[in-house]
Amino acid sequence: MRKITRMWESLKEAGCPNLRDDVELEFRSALLDFYIMPCIEEFIVCGTLSPSTIVHLRNCKRNLASLLKKSNGAIPYYFEQLLMLSRKVLRRVKVKEALLVVAHEAEREMERFFSSSDDFFSVKSENSYH
């Protein structure tokens, strides 16, 4: 955990760099930084992450890895460090379990949404909206 904390402090101190030569690359990398940093901060403060945050961090890490591959070295070292830090945090949480929990929650939400369609389209509900 100390290594993660040191890496975190180093990244916070450096701050997200500007990439003014490529607006699209700057936008995507800054957006990923914006989404990843709070996840890492939550992990450092709490020592764990909620399943939805784990999935969110995993998805952001994958997008950042893809962006780094496509950039051919055009992205500053900061983002490589951010990727490494994301990986270290994800190694300390239960990613597979989080994916299952989030998928199950999404299924329940869809079931709840579609199970209420009879109520939504009934005459009784139409009258309550007029």
pLDDT tens sequence across 24-59: 888 888 899 999 999 999 999 999 999 999 999 999
The whole domain housing 27 covers 2-99
Q: In the chain, how many domains are there?
A: 1
pTM of the model: 0.78
Let me know if residue 112 belongs to a domain: no
Higher pLDDT, 77 or 116: 77
Let me know if residue 14 belongs to a domain: yes
Let me know if residue 87 belongs to a domain: yes
**Which residues have a Cβ under 8 Å from the Cβ of 8 and sit 6 or more positions away?**
40, 41, 44, 85
CB atoms within 10 A of CB 71: 16
Let me know if residue 39 belongs to a domain: yes
Let me know if residue 26 belongs to a domain: yes
Let me know if residue 130 belongs to a domain: no
Let me know if residue 128 belongs to a domain: no
Residue with tokens 């007029």: 130
Q: Please state, in angstroms and rounded to a whole number, the distance separating the CA atoms of residues 34 and 8.
A: 14
